[in-house]
Structure 1
Amino acid sequence: MFEVLELSDRYKKVLTIVVEDYIRHAEPVGSRTVAKRLKPPLSPATVRNIMADLEELGLLSQPHVSAGRVPTEEGFRYYVENLLEAEPLSEKARETIERAFESEEIEDLSELLRITSRLLSHMTGFPSVVSAPKIGSERLLKLDFVPLGRGLVLVVAVTEAGIVVNRLLKIPASVSPEALERLAQYLNQKLPRLTLEEARDELLREIEAERKFLDTLFEELEEGEGPSEPIVEGISRLLDVPEFKDVERLKELLAAFEEKNIFLKIIERCLGSHGVQVLIGAETGLGAPRNLSAVASPYYRDKCPMGGLAVIGPMRMDYSKVVPVVDYTSRIVSHLLDKFLPRT
């Protein structure tokens, strides 16, 4: 819709004022408020007509007959894609972000991710989420198989960066514990300096009898999300947001946040794109409540996306401030990742 929708400069200015005033005050915006801020000025009657046109286009809505207008989900999307002017990150904010990562307490990858999540929540005033790196592109150090009986085996994979992933797999009844031990010895001779993809390709060329088992094994490992659940910080900050003072909306919010996998879906949506992504309303995949948005970005190692981070807040969050914080933080994490995921 927005690829072909063209608004005049006058209409863009009115929409921008409504969105930004609603972001600041969480209240419907009236025509007189807009008229006072317009340069050159327009009469309140002219502004009302423009706002009515924007409502017809689906960019504004009027909660009550006597109230002003508020941006719709489509209105926020148009604003973010066409009108948003992100504020340059201040020197003070840059220093705050950099100091957080200079702490001597950052001794491993998990601590780096926890500090990142806390920092984003502190800087933006909204909940944040940071996913752990996937191990698909990491070089493997060792694989172990622990037979559990009844056709089940616990696979333990360790990367050279110290990431440990456990997976429970079903195996054919014909695969004995002795065969698993031989296979583990063979794999561990082949694994050093190989990624999952490289190891799978080489092994499938050499081992015919265990082809089906190995294919299942490496597919399962590649789908792993890393050593832990996503790290979520600051959910309670949303309790101070006017939109969630209503008890029913609060229940919807808490129910949506109970399932941490929903955050991973937000992260995954940004991994295929470069830079910061803004997901508004239904685009977040959170379902109810619909009036949430997410600002997400991948972080990289050697230009390859390893994981992601996001800030989640009300649809009227101040994108001009949140976007540069998420962007700069993701760049710092990408820069520091080599410290905890050393090259071989």
Structure 2
Amino acid sequence: MKLKAMINSLNTNLDIQKSETSKIENVDFENLAFGRTFTDHMFVCDFIDGKWQQPKIMPYQAMTFEPSARVFHYGQAVFEGMKAYKDNAGKIWLFRPEANHKRINISSARLAMPEFPKDYFFAGLETLLKMDKEWIQPGIGNSLYIRPFVIATEPAISASPASTYRFMIICSPAKAYYSGKVRVLFAEKYSRSADGGVGFAKASGNYAAQFYPTSLAQEKGYQQIIWTDAHTHEYLEEAGTMNIFFRIDDRLVTAPTSDRILDGITRKSIIQLAEDNGVTVEIRRVPVTEIKEAARNGSLKEIFGAGTAAVVSPISAFEHGNEVFEIPDLENSYASKFKKQLQDIQHNLSEDKHGWRHEVK
């Protein structure tokens, strides 16, 4: 059965509880703090007795868990980041959502959590978006940030996988995540992840582990860290919560994915857009020494991060080994070019020759 047919079949089995009132009239969409305002409804589905139960959509609300819920003690929690867009005709679009569904299941499997069915995922997500469609504002820079996540809910302080879980989707209206350019510190001591670990997964603990070294960088006047490999700190891998790209002359260079590096959907899309534009893309290990030398001799034209929340975030300077390197502004930068092309596809303003858009009907 095709995905759309499966979704239509499951829609009739969704337990839907509509909110009696909407909060939308109290929202200033021109002044949104990222991730702090939430729509009227949320999607919930529990895993009990070895299977996923009837999925529900209900008013956004607080939840009650026992203090012994395993997520609090053993960190079984994974999540995804997605966005929905509304075009000028009022149609709602998702961007490569099947990749998000696949990745949350890869993350779940790594943390010994049950995979979530594709039909449940899309039926719940699409119904939720249609119910809260007024929260999706049209126009470039506007979107609805979507947060699917899974947590272990079994009340037991026992160091083993839980037997019960909760899968949820909540949504938050968003404007641009970062404003302006970002200054970064190349990591020399701390690591984001290690070989054989969970760096490739969107595990909640990955992000918690970044907070302390990032706070140290911020004390020095930097917004983010570009993480280096855990063994030698000689190779650049990721930027904060984003994948990282370097433009050396007219070549675009980025680190390969591994069990340390997230297989970013925005990353994959930018690589494809670069190739569509005839830009040479090198997917290889990126030595710190190479980037510093390129900055010295002028061949380093750009550094930018890529991710769902920020889309593309240009980097204006970096520090390593007590040396600070400023990156001059560049007209017609790859960062701005690929960001525009990506956003035009997401907002249904240009051709989608790779079939990335998914219409919510």
Question: Shared fold (TM-score greater than 0.5)?
Answer: no
Larger Rg: 1
Could you say which TM-score interval applies, normalised by the shorter chain? Answer: under 0.3
Q: Which has the higher helix share?
A: 1
Q: What TM-score results when the alignment is normalised by the length of structure 2? A: 0.23
